[in-house]
Structure 1
Amino acid sequence: MRTVHDARASTASVAAALHDVASLGGFFVLQVGGPDDGWHSLARSYAAGFTDLAEAVARRHRTPEPRIDVSIAQLGHAARLWSPALACVVLHGIVPDLEGLQRADDGPALRVPRPAGWYADRLDDTSARALYRQVTGHLSALGEGLRVKVAPRLLDGNSASALAGAAHALLALRPAVRGPLTDLTTELLDTGRLAGTGVLTGPDLTFRRRSCCLYYRAPNGSKCGDCGLAGGVRRPALR
């Protein structure tokens, strides 16, 4: 019987996959290695309630409610987790190990100091469930540390929206992976807390969620394109 240890990918393979995925730009960038100065563990950020990033949202959007700030900050973080992890699985067959992730002291950028992961086809579990655990473990820790009350299903909807947004962006950049990308995204959206958060609405992996990130309540906000309340086109300017 194979073990998780047997499925471990080499450090070089994981690093190469993450570097390739980062070349896609935007939320796909997950920094690898480098000096430790300027970074701290995500566990510290979660324990602090992601307060600094929520405050940055409040300054940028002049929001009237703390829960809007938290929601937008969590949505941006979810996008930075799902995007590189999803792309690594689809493009390279590697589930990255996100346990040791760090965050920049001055912003939301993420870094893995020592790349590690597993070959998806060597795991006894499905790649979807392995990927789900890696990402939602972080989002659960973030939710537990929040100092502001936000509906759990709103946060789950943000996670699903970030996943679908990552899949939509990856498909536009690498259309040849439509089949496996669609299969993996569909399975993920039926897994755990993502189940029931929304539905894929087209072959380009557009998504309609059943909740709302609250961005429309910001002074210059509006309903996002996947909003459960209505069809819009704008999204919060995630940082």
Structure 2
Amino acid sequence: MDPTPTVSSALADAARVGPFFEIGTNPAEEADPTWRPFRDLVEDPEPLRARIAHVRTVLGGADAVEERVAASIALQGLAARLVSGPLAVAVLHGLVPAVTADALQWRVSMTGPWPLWLASPGPASTPLPDVLVDELLAPLIGAVRARVGVSAKVLWGNVASSVAGAKRVLAADRPVSAGAAARVAAEILDHPALAGAGDRLPAAPPDVGWSFRRRSCCLYYRVPGGGTCGDCVLTSPRAGAPRSARPRS
């Protein structure tokens, strides 16, 4: 660990974990006019509408996939991008980057997750759970629900699942930090907005510290050829062995 890390160097280190952990800080990106502040994503209806439509097309098209299913999957992808990098920075370097709605930038990509860039990387003055949930995730969920009739419980479950997934990936990539990853991820999940989204259970491999089971379903099983995830409420009942679930027509 760098004994005197900057937010920029910490984010660069986190990006090495994987593409969902990447938040760029290169000042040369300022010359690219396609970057937009996160605030635009929740205030301008068009980008989210277009992203949900794109995900719906990728999953099978409007005739095969409900709009609320596409909205759920789109939100989960965005949430994973938003939580992974800051979580890794907090775990690996003890820093909370100021990923505010004005400083954090995004741009459209049609071939994968939307890239993120932090125009002025610096430390936040509030705890990581509040930065992520209050500044980014709660407004994003509100914006999705203003456009598509999808359950808030589903969307918050997607966020919680993304936190647990980021913890697992980070622990696998940096085993020495697995305990810290479990602690920081648990702090995020303890935020009031996420407290009812799932349960932390005794760790089962490959998890360290705890395993996660959500109390909702992301609806991917309603996609043609889709299924359920390992932490889904449909396949992991609270009090016993896993059960199978048939997709509902």
Give the TM-score taking structure 1 as reference length: 0.83
Identify the match of residue 112 of structure 1 among 115, 118, 121: 118
Q: What displacement does 1:190 show?
A: 2.0
* Pair 1:47-2:53 in alignment: no
Cα deviation per residue 1:135-165 (whole Å; 9 max; x = unaligned)? 1121111122221111111111111000000
Matches within 5 A, 1:25-64: 25-33=18-26, 34-36=28-30, 37=32, 38-49=34-45, 50-62=48-60, 63-64=64-65
Task: Verify the 8 A CA contact 2:157 2:198 in the aligned structure 1.
Answer: yes
Residue 106 of structure 2 aligns with which residue? 103
Shift of 1:46: 1.7
Indicate the structure whose relative CO is greater, using CA pairs within 8 Å and at least 6 residues apart.
Answer: 1
8 A contact 2:59–2:65 mirrored in 1 = no
Q: What's the counterpart of residue 223 of structure 1?
A: 228
Q: Hey, what's the Cα distance between the residues in 1 that align with 2:70 and 2:87?
A: 26
Compared CA separation, residues 68 and 92, structure 1 to 2 (3 A): same
Q: 1:20: how far off?
A: 0.8
Helix, strand or coil for the counterpart of 1:111? strand
Q: Deviations over 1:24-56 (max 9, x none)?
A: 122111111332312112222222341121111
The whole-number CA distance in structure 1 between the counterparts of 2:106 and 2:23 is 10
Change (3 A) 1:186 1:105: closer
Deviation string for 1:157-193 (max 9, x for gaps)?
1110000000000000111112222222223222211
Q: Which amino acid aligns with 1:103?
A: W
Partner of 2:239: none
Residue equivalent to 1:4: none
CA distance in 1, matches of 2:96, 2:218: 28
Aligned residues: 213
- Alignment check: 8 A CA contact 1:79 1:159 kept: yes
User: Partner of 1:89 in structure 2?
Assistant: 90
Q: Distance between the aligned counterparts of 1:65 and 1:48, measured in 2?
A: 23
Deviation at 1:85, TM superposition (A): 0.5
> Equivalent residue of 2:6, what SS?
helix
- Aligned CA RMSD, in angstroms, stands at 1.9
Is 1:15 the equivalent of 2:8? Answer: yes
With structure 2 as the length reference, what TM-score do the two structures score? 0.80
**What is the SS of the residue equivalent to 1:96?**
coil
| Structure 1 segments of 4+ aligned residues over 3 angstroms from their partners | none
List alignment gaps of at least 5 residues for structure 1: 1-9, 233-239
SS of 1:193's equivalent in the other structure is: coil
- Give the aligned partner of residue 80 of structure 1: 81
Once the two structures are TM-superposed, the CA of residue 200 in structure 1 deviates from its matched residue by 2.7
Deviations 1:97-151 (A, max 9, x none): 0011111133511111111114xxxx7x7xxxx1111111211111222211111
CA distance in structure 2 between the partners assigned to 1:25 and 1:48 by the alignment: 29
User: CA separation in 2, counterparts of 1:156 and 1:216?
Assistant: 18
Q: Is the 8 A contact 1:211 1:228 kept in 2?
A: yes
Identity of aligned residues (%): 37
Aligned to 2:130: 133
Q: Give yes or no for contact 1:48–1:145 (8 Å, CA) kept in 2.
A: no
Q: Which amino acid aligns with 1:138?
A: L
- Conserved in 1, the CA contact under 8 Å of 2:130 and 2:191? no
Q: Give unpaired runs (5+ residues) of structure 2.
A: 237-241, 243-249
Give 1:235's aligned residue: none
Larger displacement relative to structure 2 (24-33 or 13-22): 24-33
Specify the alignment match of 2:159 in structure 1.
159
Q: For residues 171-221 of structure 1, what are the alpha-carbon distances to aligned partners after superposition, in whole Å with 9 as ceiling and x for unaligned?
A: 001111122222222232222111021123315143210001111101121
